[in-house]
């Protein structure tokens, strides 16, 4: 059942369908994604890296710095593992793959792509950009070098499967309220065969934002609907139903956001590490 909350901010009304979303002038509506980024980052950093030294270059200092910088500045849109979210999958980006030490992505980072909803980071140093590039190339290297039957993205099923499946099932039907939307004999039937271990883990820790939509009501009474690209305390941007980019100062419009996976993002505020491992272990039984 959809929950709706009307939020007042400087005469601006934002209405969210799916789950309550708090927004103040200093807090972006994507705070849940920011929290998600750090939840996922902390979880995956806690796991041992099992790829060989030749396959996995993530231990290099510049890569580690780049990962930290990426999580702080980029993960909200591009996902905690750079595989996409509100923004595109950077591991599949031709620009990133042809970049050398930040020579191609540097301009994009510093100047942004406002027409596509990407903000500019003009104060980011060349060192930070170089480190981010090193991190992205390391992610590409690890992901590309691992065979499908082995550990995916540097993590094997053995590394991830350390929870209690029965406790995960209890959480699924109890505190997590997962069963209100999902069924192990319905939409989740065979899900452990459908996705690799790391992908299955990331699907509930890093819910995609591609299906988040918005309806913007203009002072004239006109309503514009489309895919939400950006929403913060200052402006809203979307890709309308005709495929065109449009944006407005937030104070001049009313915005209704529809996020089918809002309940997943709310859970990220309450998950413990134990819950995460237990739920994953339960999902791995659904073959």
* CA proximity to 284, closest of 200, 187, 202, 199: 200
Handedness of CA 219, 223, 224, 227 (dihedral sign): positive
Q: Phi and psi for 152 in degrees, rounded to 5?
A: -95, 125
286, 40 Cβ separation under 8 angstroms: no
pLDDT at residue 271, rounded to an integer: 81
Residue 113 DSSP class: B
Which of 201, 208, 205, 91 minimizes the C-alpha distance to 156? 201
Identify the pLDDT of residue 263: 85
Taking the whole predicted model, whether its pTM rises above 0.75 is answered as no
> Mind giving me the DSSP string for 52-98?
-TTT--TTSHHHHHHHHHHHHHTHHHH-TTSS-SSS--GGG-HHHHH
218/223 Cα distance (integer angstroms): 6
CB atoms within 10 A of CB 147: 7
The domains of the chain, with CATH numbers, are 4-31+213-258 (2.30.30), 52-145 (1.10.760.10)
> CB-based contacts of 247: which residues, under 8 Å, 6+ apart?
230, 235, 236, 237, 238
* C-alpha to C-alpha distance for 26 and 234, rounded to whole angstroms: 10
Q: Residue 77 forms beta bridges with which residues?
A: none
Residues with Cβ < 8 Å from 81, sequence gap 6 or more? 40, 44, 139, 153, 202, 206
Question: Element (H or E) spanning 16, and its range?
Answer: strand 12-17
* Rounded Cα gap, residues 68 and 131, in angstroms: 9
State the pLDDT at residue 1.
Answer: 32
Q: Digits of tens for pLDDT over the chain (287 positions)?
A: 333 333 333 444 455 555 433 333 333 334 444 344 444 444 444 444 433 334 446 778 999 999 889 988 898 888 888 888 878 888 878 788 888 898 889 888 988 887 777 888 888 999 999 999 999 988 888 776 543 334 444 455 656 677 899 999 999 999 999 999 899 999 999 988 887 777 777 777 777 777 899 999 999 999 999 999 888 888 899 999 999 999 999 999 999 999 888 888 888 778 887 888 888 889 989 98
Strand pairing category for 254-258 and 12-17: parallel
Q: Say what the pLDDT of residue 48 is.
A: 41
């Amino acid at each position: 059942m959809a929950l709706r909350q009307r939020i007042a901010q400087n005469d601006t009304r934002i209405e969210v369908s799916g789950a309550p979303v708090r927004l103040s002038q200093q807090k972006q509506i994507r705070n849940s994604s920011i929290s998600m980024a750090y939840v996922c980052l902390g979880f995956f950093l806690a796991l041992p890296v099992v790829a060989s030294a030749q396959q996995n270059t993530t231990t290099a200092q510049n890569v580690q710095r780049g990962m930290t910088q990426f999580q702080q500045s980029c993960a909200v849109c591009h996902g905690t593992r750079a595989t996409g979210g509100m923004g595109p999958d950077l591991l599949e980006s031709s620009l990133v793959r042809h970049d050398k030490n930040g020579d191609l992505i540097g301009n994009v980072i510093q100047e942004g792509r406002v027409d596509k909803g990407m903000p500019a980071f003009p104060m980011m140093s060349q060192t930070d950009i170089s480190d981010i590039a090193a991190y992205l190339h390391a992610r590409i290297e690890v992901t590309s070098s691992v065979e499908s039957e082995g550990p995916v993205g540097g993590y094997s099923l053995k590394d991830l499967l350390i929870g209690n499946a029965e406790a995960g099932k209890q959480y699924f039907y109890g505190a997590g309220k997962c069963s209100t939307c999902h069924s192990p004999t319905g939409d989740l039937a065979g899900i452990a065969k459908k996705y690799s271990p790391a992908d299955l883990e990331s699907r509930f820790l890093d819910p995609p934002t591609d299906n988040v939509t918005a309806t913007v009501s203009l002072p004239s009474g006109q309503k514009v609907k489309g895919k939400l690209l950006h929403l913060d305390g200052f402006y809203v941007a979307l890709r309308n139903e005709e495929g065109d980019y449009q944006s407005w100062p937030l104070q001049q419009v009313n915005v209704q956001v529809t996020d089918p996976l809002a309940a997943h993002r709310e859970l990220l505020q309450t998950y413990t590490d134990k819950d995460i491992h237990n739920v994953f272990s339960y999902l791995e039984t659904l073959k």
